[in-house]
Amino acid sequence: MEIGDEWICRAKAFSLSERVKIIGIEKRKQTTRVDIEFLDGGRAGLHDNVPALRPHGPWSTVAEYDERMANWQRLSGGDLDETEESAVGELFDALIPEDVAIYYDSFVRNGSTVRDREALERLMRRPMSYVLDHVEWFEHDEVLELSADGTLLIAEYVCAANPTPVLERLMAEEAEIREHCKRGREYDAFDGSGKQTSPPEWEYEHYRKRYRPIHELLRSWCGHRSVTFVERLMAAEAEVRRLDILIANVIDTLKQHDAIQAHIYEREHNQERITPESVRPVVDRPLAPWEIPVREVPVRRGRWW
């Protein structure tokens, strides 16, 4: 920016572009201010002092700039509520790398930027058209810019395609919150006064208003079948561990009275354990006649006549 240049200026992000002339630049300690003169329209000849961020590039690029801002204005129509915003944030942090897509750096609130379209399609397990056909978007500089509705659809599709890590993360978080709701929580005070303790009642109310809606939304994105499957799997694993500990205690008690029988039970328990490798039925090919083992069966010899 030089004195005498003609630049684009807008009062607000989506206002009309105005042609201005730079007549002065004032660099202050914290900010930079610019003196401008309006050249067109009803304000022609008027002067103003504006922040250095108000001018948006040379006037020669106004057509490209107006087109880009019109696209951003088209994307700014949607928005997410507080629960959706938090759920999307957790989902992006857990499953979507920043070199694939981000949603916190868009020009519009809760918009998302897709940097690697093919990688995102693999995460969603569906083509990008499933998103683009239903939301506002535009492409520039080899990236896709999506509205808040597009961000929400991406989060839903990625969550539905990868439910297990999301559900495991939720259950781990809920296990921690459950302890806080029983005994309270100790935390560092924001004012630096030291350790503070929140009562269990406050922790539960905070969970009910803040975390539970987010968790239920994420579970709905995972789908009922995935939620049921993961919960049944985790319950089965926990029950196996409980029974394993119980059997170990029973065998230790039995060793005091019958060491041989206790050793037999322990060996049977370990050797005949059902594992993921052994539970799947093995399908073998039919044996050829010469591969069938010969089995001799003894019979009584009778008279030849």
The reply to whether 71 falls in a domain is no
- How many structural domains compose the chain? 4
Nearest alpha-carbon partner for 152 in 136, 138, 167: 136
97 and 43 co-located in one domain:
no
- Whether pLDDT at 123 is above 90: yes
Q: pLDDT of 234-260, one tens digit each?
A: 788 788 888 888 988 999 899 898 988
Its pTM stands at: 0.72
88 and 127 co-located in one domain:
yes
Q: How far apart are CA 143 and CA 103, in angstroms?
A: 13
Residue 110 is part of which domain span? 76-161
* C-beta atoms surrounding 281 within 10 Å: 5
211 and 259 co-located in one domain:
no
57 and 22 co-located in one domain:
yes
Q: pLDDT of 172-191, one tens digit each?
A: 898 888 888 888 888 777 77
156 and 87 co-located in one domain:
yes
13 and 55 co-located in one domain:
yes
Nearest alpha-carbon partner for 34 in 45, 23, 43: 23
Q: pLDDT of 96-115, one tens digit each?
A: 999 999 988 888 899 999 99
Q: How far apart are CA 138 and CA 64, in angstroms?
A: 14
